[in-house]
């Protein structure tokens, strides 16, 4: 029987990138694998708590100059902001990340000896892997060959395709002859225009990091993320993405990660029992149920861990339903996205709003009828896992593309604005609540995801790459 390999995880040191991969690592530990996790000290406590070995890489604030970070946050949403972020936060750190990754792998190899198989489990945006793909010598102890690498994609399927316009333009897919001509023309314009400084920097920095042979015509960062590993596992359902006729055969859908079940030591807000009691209330209007308290509709709103301007989504969602505090009305549950976070001073909290600094999505989505989100990939996947339809706002990063896909899949309403009004949010929520198709579709996707078995599929690829003997 083949011995289980050691799984070496590495992730870009930011919450939205590292957290899903931490969940995969925890799942593999539960299945009997030894795990080393290469990430920043911000994640050390969580890594050690789940039983993995921690090895350090530079943190996000080590990679991002504070002045550059402030400049990025101040830029208006758009392609300029996107390419600025790609250049400064993902491309410029490549030499440092590659050096850190190489040293960590050498240390593990020296300790484990030459016969222990090591498989690299790389979150796609952990760009330190890239130079090794393009000619940088493998770390010492690996016989000149970089170890098998399984890519874990916690981002949208942003890979180039003849069927889609360049990612971030927010255009629907078009696989007709004219549509493919449009897509190709837009890619050429992008490459020669806004993307050119980033692409030129990428080639130069890959060379600085030891790369010796780049693809003809240069390398595209997003394509490199998806196509560098031996296999890339897209951690969502096919229905959550556009169907691509030219999808590279090394990219495989494995479904969304399973929900996080409550833990005995989880803290709960003091109003939690009210939410649980509401879930057990009747939704019937029959006379027999007349004496039983009617269940209120629960709207969960959270705008993630990065978009911390609560005036964009959390506060207008509370205001949108402030007049629905009656017994047959609405309960708004707002999570602020970070432990210790508070509402701005002077914020009026309506009587039917309940606020927590931080609460795991899965914990509250079990009791929610609709989720209001800024379309972050993590939020979308949590909604699918729990069968909860969405109202989406947000136009930064990849959020327009995520919204386009979710609305096309039928489980979300898109507002397509960074700062929706209370009226827009209310209209979107009432659309979802009044049309059963949204909930039905969300439940269909939930069932599809449960049948897929994300962690089983990931382990299947680990077993495929495990040496016999």
pLDDT band at 468 (very low <50, low <70, confident <90, very high): low
Asked if residue 283 has pLDDT above 70, the reply is no
Residue 265 lies in a domain: no
Higher-confidence residue of 218 and 343: namely 343
Whether 183 has a pLDDT exceeding 90, the answer reads yes
* 458 and 368 housed in the same domain: no
Please give the pLDDT value at position 261: 84
**How confident is the model at residue 150, as a pLDDT?**
98
- Tell me the C-alpha distance between 400 and 402, whole Å: 5
Residue 333's domain comprises 272-451
Instruction: Reply yes or no on whether the pLDDT at 27 is more than 50.
Output: yes
Asked, for residue 241, whether it belongs to a domain, the answer is yes
pLDDT in the model for residue 118:
97
Sheet holding 231-234, edge to edge: 53-56, 35-39, 6-10, 118-123, 149-153, 231-234, 251-253
In a domain, 469, yes or no: no
What's the pLDDT score for residue 264? 80
Number of independent structural domains in the chain: 2
Only one residue has tokens 């996205």, namely: 337
Is 420 a residue whose pLDDT tops 80?
Answer: yes
What percent of the chain has a predicted confidence (pLDDT) above 70? Answer: 95
- State how far the alpha carbon of 395 is from the alpha carbons of 168, 189, 392, 399, 416, in Å: 9, 22, 10, 5, 6
As a whole-number percent, the residues of the chain with pLDDT over 90 amount to: 78
- The answer as to whether 266 is a domain residue is no
Q: Based on the domain organization, do 206 and 329 belong to the same domain? A: no
The per-residue pLDDT for 195 is 92
Task: Tell me: do 169 and 52 sit in the same domain.
Answer: yes
Per the domain annotation, does 264 fall within a domain? no
Residue 362 belongs to a domain: yes
User: What integer best gives the mean pLDDT of the chain?
Assistant: 92
Mean pLDDT confidence for 421-431 = 97
pLDDT at 469: 35
Q: How confident is the model at residue 305 (pLDDT cuts 50, 70, 90)?
A: low
80 and 116 part of one domain: yes
Q: What is the pLDDT of residue 242?
A: 96
Q: Are residues 133 and 202 in the same domain?
A: yes
Query: Can you give the pLDDT at residue 293?
Result: 74
Out of 73-77, 83-87, 231-235, 383-387, least confident range: 73-77
Residue 430: CATH number of its domain: 3.40.50.2000
pLDDT at 457 over 80: yes
């Amino acid at each position: 029987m083949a011995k289980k390999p050691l799984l070496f995880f590495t992730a870009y040191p930011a919450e939205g990138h590292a957290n899903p991969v931490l969940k995969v690592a925890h799942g593999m530990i539960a299945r009997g694998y030894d795990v080393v996790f290469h990430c920043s000290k911000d994640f050390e406590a969580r890594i050690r708590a789940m039983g993995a070995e921690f090895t350090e890489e530079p943190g996000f604030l080590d990679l991002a100059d504070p002045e550059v970070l402030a400049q990025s946050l101040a830029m208006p949403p758009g392609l300029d902001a996107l390419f600025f972020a790609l250049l400064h936060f993902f491309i410029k750190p490549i030499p440092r990340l590659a050096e850190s990754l190489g040293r960590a792998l050498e240390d593990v190899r020296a300790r484990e000896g030459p016969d222990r198989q090591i498989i690299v489990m790389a979150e796609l945006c952990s760009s330190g892997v890239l130079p090794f793909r393009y000619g940088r010598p493998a770390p010492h102890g690996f016989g000149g060959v970089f170890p098998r690498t399984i890519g874990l994609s916690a981002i949208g399927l942003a890979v180039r395709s003849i069927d889609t316009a360049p990612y971030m333009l927010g255009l629907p897919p078009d696989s007709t002859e004219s549509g493919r001509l449009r897509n190709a023309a837009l890619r050429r314009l992008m490459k020669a225009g806004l993307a050119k400084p980033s692409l030129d920097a990428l080639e130069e920095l890959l060379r600085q990091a030891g790369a010796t042979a780049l693809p003809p015509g240069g390398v595209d960062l997003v394509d490199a993320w998806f196509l560098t590993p031996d296999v890339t596992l897209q951690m969502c359902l096919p229905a959550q993405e556009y169907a691509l006729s030219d999808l590279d055969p090394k990219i495989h859908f494995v479904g969304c990660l399973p929900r996080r079940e409550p833990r005995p030591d989880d803290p709960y807000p003091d109003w939690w029992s009210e939410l649980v009691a509401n879930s057990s209330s009747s939704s019937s209007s029959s006379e027999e149920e007349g004496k039983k308290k009617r269940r209120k509709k629960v709207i969960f709103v959270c705008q993630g861990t990065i978009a911390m301007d609560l005036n964009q989504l959390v506060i207008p969602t509370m205001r949108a339903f402030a007049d629905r505090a009656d017994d047959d009305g609405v309960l708004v549950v707002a999570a602020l996205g970070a432990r210790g976070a508070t509402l701005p001073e002077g914020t009026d909290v309506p009587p039917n709003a309940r606020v927590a600094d931080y609460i795991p999505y899965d914990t509250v989505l079990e009791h929610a009828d609709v989720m209001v989100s800024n379309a972050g990939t993590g939020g979308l996947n949590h909604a699918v896992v729990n069968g909860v339809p969405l109202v989406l706002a947000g136009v930064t990063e990849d959020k327009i593309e995520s919204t386009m896909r979710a609305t096309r899949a039928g489980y979300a309403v898109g507002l397509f604005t960074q700062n929706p009004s209370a009226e827009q949010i209310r209209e979107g929520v009432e659309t979802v609540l009044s049309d059963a198709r949204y909930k039905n579709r969300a439940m269909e996707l939930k069932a599809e995801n449960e049948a897929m078995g994300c962690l089983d599929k990931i382990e299947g690829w680990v077993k495929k790459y495990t040496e016999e003997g």
